[in-house]
Amino acid sequence: MLISLACFRATFSIFAQSATIFPSSLQNIWRRAAEIVTAGVGQHLAPSNPLGNAIVVYLHAVGSEGGYGFFAPEVPDSLTLVFEIHFPDGRVEYDLPSVRSVAAGLRFNGVLEQINATKYEPLRQMILKILTYSVLQRYPNASHIRAIFTVAILPSTREFAAGREISYETLSAYDLTFAEQSTEPRD
Amino acid sequence: MRRIIWERIEGFLFPQESDTWLTVLRLGAALQVILYCSTTRAEWHETFSMQSVGPIRRDLSEAVLSAQSHFIPRMGWLVDAGARIGLGEGLVLEIIWWALLIAGISLLVGLFCRASAIVAAFLHLCAVKSSGALSYGVDIFTIVGLFYVAVAPLPDSFSLDRHFRQLKPKYAELNGFFRRALQVHVCLIYFFSGIAKCAGVGWWNGESIWRAVIRPPFNMISPSILIHWKFFFPIASISVCILETAYPIFIWPRRTRVIWLCSVVAMHIGIAAFLGMYLFALIMIILNLAAFGPPFRWRQDAGVNVVAEQGIA
């Protein structure tokens, strides 16, 4: 029962937030439905409420807290994060977030999707700053680092047949100057 | 009338069932735990250490978890517990990795099944929850598998516990109930996954399959080769929608179960081959076979052990 409700919540949220085959006028209804179901799984209860906590822990323990809407309603664009490392002598180097295995690369892809899904700018900047900080450890002499968040624009079958390849578009760039510990978004 | 209805509900929830499904699930989940350990070994400390210079640290993931509940298992609990007895973070993380691996191996051979299953499920859950954004589908479904192994009546007939320690499950009559719960859970997984896909335009014209196979980092085959198969994409993507959404309808009747099960397994083999998601495909096949696969038994036949099919239950 709880698993069903968690699945309904996730599905309604997907419908409410994404473009689907349903009319956009229904999005408020999906949103409202998601809110009702959210209440049904105890999410409206106070953080200290034992029942609410028990439900959340149970859903996490059975792997159902987020629903199962993988690759839905559409397959998302592919995201990349590139670091532009600037040195005091004017030299510039490029680097990617380091992972040591193919499996870790697949896992890191989820991090990028989560950053992209984060609409709250301060949180998005904080995540990027943490990621950039890991690069700074490898380049301690860098004066500043620019984190460039790009999206791979995937051509449709028709476009690819007509000669269009995968292209990359910058979504946002963040300058991180570590002497001042500040971030400045540059969209 | 009420009695008949109750008997039918009881018959559905508590069917007579052998424990071979549990053997499949135990072996599969244990294998996934071992593979999880081996694939995360190189970055284990970077992922979970607070001194890490890795891309994502566990404090961020655990902060997100705390926003939902402070009682969701996490690595921080174990590290803090270790600190109370004077163990450093690095040593605790090393112990957790080895404990998870040993629990996985022990579960695979069926030794100390119950303890191994609970330890593996708990440590795996802690690791996945604390790695937050670094986890993906395979981890979620391994959690599903490990949960049912941990709560089902162990040890199963094929475990070393049964053969060498002569242990028997305490509530073997509940085998059917736990398999039924897994079956319903798997049906929910496919139904909701399918219905969410059906809402996307790309799943009806084939573009979603095309995007999935050319999308980095899942682009195993060059788009130049794949484009020659573009007529196949709409067929494949509509088939995926139908297979998943109609799974709860066609997986129960005997007549359609084999077809549906084979089709879904084939779909997951395709995902492994074309997207390189081998571990994801493996755990999904295991969940399907455990939930709806045919039972089998170990038969002594002229001194030779053979696995004999008993047909579809």
pLDDT tens per residue, range A47-106: 778 888 888 899 999 988 877 877 878 888 788 888 888 888 888 888 877 666 666 666
List the single best residue of A13, A107, A123 to mutate versus B (max B Cβ within 10 A).
Answer: A107
Record: contact B55-A97, CB cut-off 8 A:
yes
For residue A71, which residues of chain B lie inside 8 Å, CB to CB? 197, 208, 212
Residue of B81, B160, B159, B157 lying closest to B122 (CA atoms): B81
Q: Burial code of A60-91, b = ≥16 C-beta within 10 A, e = fewer? A: bbbbbbebbbebbbbbbbbbbbbbbbbeeeee
Contact B106, B116 (CB under 8 A): yes
Record: contact A98-B196, CB cut-off 8 A:
no
Contact A56, B69 (CB under 8 A): yes
Whether residue B313 is predicted with pLDDT greater than 50 in this model: the reply is no
Q: Out of A7, A22, A110, whose CB is closest to B192?
A: A7
Reported confidence tier of residue A178, pLDDT bands at 50, 70, 90: low
List the single best residue of B33, B182, B188, B222 to mutate versus A (max A Cβ within 10 A).
Answer: B188
Q: How many CB atoms lie within 10 A of CB B301?
A: 8
B69-79 pLDDT tens trace: 889 899 999 99
Q: How many CB atoms lie within 10 A of CB B273?
A: 13
Residue of B274, B275, B272, B133 lying closest to A97 (CA atoms): B133
For residue A20, which residues of chain B lie inside 8 Å, CB to CB? 199-201
> Could you tell me whether strands A92-95 and A78-86 are parallel, antiparallel, or unpaired per DSSP bridges?
antiparallel
Where helices occur in chain B by DSSP H, the ranges are: 2-13, 20-40, 44-48, 58-68, 75-84, 89-109, 113-130, 137-151, 160-163, 175-198, 202-205, 207-214, 223-226, 232-245, 247-250, 254-275, 278-292
For the record, the structure tokens of B165 come out as 């320690």
Q: Say what the pLDDT of residue B37 is.
A: 94
For residue B192, which residues of chain A lie inside 8 Å, CB to CB? 7-8, 10-11, 67-69
Q: Which of A4-13, B211-220, B226-235, B237-246 has the highest mean pLDDT?
A: B237-246
**Mean pLDDT, chain A, as a whole number?**
79
List the single best residue of A27, A30, A60 to mutate versus B (max B Cβ within 10 A).
Answer: A60
3-class DSSP state for residue B69? coil
C-alpha to C-alpha distances, A17 to A26, A32, B122, B198, nearest whole angstrom: 11, 12, 33, 15
Q: How many CB atoms lie within 10 A of CB B5?
A: 9
Record: contact A152-B135, CB cut-off 8 A:
no
Whether residue A157 is predicted with pLDDT greater than 50 in this model: the reply is yes
| 3-class SS shares of chain A: helix, strand, coil, % to 5 | 45, 20, 35
Q: How far is A138 from chain B (nearest CA, A)?
A: 9
Whether residue B7 is predicted with pLDDT greater than 50 in this model: the reply is yes
Q: pTM of the entire structure? A: 0.84
DSSP A45-114: S-TT-HHHHHHHHHHHHTT-TT-S-TT-SSPPPEEEEEEEEE-TTS-EEEE----SSHHHHHHHHHHHHH
Q: Out of A7, A72, A134, whose CB is closest to B188?
A: A7
3-class DSSP state for residue B286? helix
Lowest mean pLDDT among A8-12, B25-29, B151-155: A8-12
Q: Which residue of A has its CA nearest to B71?
A: A57
Q: How many CB atoms lie within 10 A of CB A93?
A: 12
For residue B136, which residues of chain A lie inside 8 Å, CB to CB? 106-107, 109-110
Q: How far is A99 from chain B (nearest CA, A)?
A: 8
CA distance B147 to A74: 30
List the single best residue of B33, B56, B245 to mutate versus A (max A Cβ within 10 A).
Answer: B56
Contact B206, B222 (CB under 8 A): no
Q: Which of A28-37, B114-123, B206-215 has the highest mean pLDDT?
A: B114-123
DSSP state of B270: H
Cβ-Cβ pairs closer than 8 A, A with B, add up to 189
Contact map slice: A 150-179 vs B, CB within 8 A: 152, 154, 156-157, 160-161, 166
CA distance A5 to A17: 18
For residue B143, which residues of chain A lie inside 8 Å, CB to CB? 61-63
ipTM metric: 0.86
